[in-house]
Amino acid sequence: MSPKPDRTDDAIQSRKADHLRICLDDSVQCQWVTTGLEQYRFTHVCLPELALLEVQTSTSFLGKSLGAPLLISSMTGGTELAKTINIRLAKVAQQFNIAMGVGSQRVAVEHPQVADTFAVRSHAPDILLLANLGAVQLNYGYTIDHCQQVIDLLEADALILHLNPLQECIQSRGDRDFRGLLARIKTLCHNLPVPVIVKEVGNGISGAMAIPLIEAGVAAIDVAGAGGTSWAKVEGERAEDLRQRRLGQTFAEWGLPTAECVTSIRGMAPHIPLIASGGLRTGLDAAKAIALGANLVGMAYPFLRAAHESESALITLTELLIAELETVLFCTGNRDLQDLQKSDCLQPQ
């Protein structure tokens, strides 16, 4: 069974362009549901017995060394603007040695002429680089060969399979058959030569859902909780009829807060590599997520806005995020991220 193609080249490229345009608009951010991180605060240490120069933000994830625990979360591809943004993101990821994911590569499988909008490895030869496909496509003709194709295109270190049932419900002509998907994910995990990461797209993964995914063989989980960009709102903005637009409005604030996802999964699965994403905006947010148990922190919206502006804006943003993270470590008396996680300096408000 071959993958179900999108309607036309124009249709799929238009959808990708719409996603970029809409996601840059503040109106598709969650307004009432928050990340939950605001419910925690760090205990200030007035005498840290450290020099700021001693503070280290380096870490490793899936065997790859990183200069900071930051992931440029999966965003885009498939258009010329997306190509420009991906190249800028890759160059800055290489400069700071942080991780990067790309947007869904389904468009590159079905329309190979846009594959180059994802191919950023030449700009970032050393980073942790993550390929990306919608998991539900495994129910629509995608096989291990298609997954290997997107990995090879990117020269990726791992494959993200994203789970997006709500987005598919609201997207016009979405793919809504998720039956038997866990078994297909398990088969993929045991047959691909690179690790498989499972992530949501902004509605969260609970501890209860993480367990079967871990048992299926996923190497890491990205919680992608609620509190940031609402893909229900995004797809509602693109809706072709009143029904889909109403669904987008009704479910605009649906999902599990990011902090709740992190603590829930970490409580049930102490050792799974864990990415916290969904509404994180600052290095302070990142530090809270790490203190709660995350190993890596993903951000999309802040990087997208900066990349849309310029490479210089991206550099400024990344420097600021790292400086904020270093400041938290210094002002809590922790030399590195490992010390931060072992400390009890983060407390509920």
Q: Kindly list the structural domains of the chain, giving each domain's residue range(s) and its CATH number in brackets, ordered by start.
A: 9-43+63-318 (3.20.20.70)
Positions of the chain with pLDDT under 70: 1-2, 4-13, 26
| pLDDT the model gives residue 22 | 87
| pLDDT the model gives residue 17 | 78
| pLDDT the model gives residue 19 | 83
Q: What is the pLDDT of residues 41-91, one digit of tens each?
A: 999 999 999 999 999 999 999 999 999 999 999 999 999 999 999 999 999
| pLDDT the model gives residue 4 | 57
Q: What is the pLDDT of residues 151-189, one digit of tens each?
A: 999 999 999 999 999 999 999 899 999 999 999 999 999
Cα(246)–Cα(153) distance, integer angstroms: 38
| pLDDT the model gives residue 12 | 61
Please state, in angstroms and as integers, the Cα–Cα distance from residue 10 to each residue in 18, 80, 107, 175, following that order.
12, 13, 11, 19
| pLDDT the model gives residue 116 | 97
Residue with tokens 């793919």: 175
Measured torsion, CA atoms of residues 249, 258, 132, 270, in degrees rounded to the nearest 10: -150
- Which residue intervals of 35-137 are DSSP H helices? 80-96, 106-110
The SS3 call for residue 225 is: coil
Residue 56 identity: Q
| pLDDT the model gives residue 16 | 73
Answer whether 330's CB lies under 8 Å from 336's CB: no
Opening angle at CA 339, ends 334 and 343, nearest 5: 90
| pLDDT the model gives residue 10 | 59
| pLDDT the model gives residue 6 | 54
Opening angle at CA 199, ends 230 and 195, nearest 5: 155
- Residue 296's nearest CA partner among 122, 33, 64 is 64
- Residue 292's nearest CA partner among 6, 19, 18, 35 is 35
Cα(152)–Cα(177) distance, integer angstroms: 27
Opening angle at CA 263, ends 36 and 47, nearest 5: 75
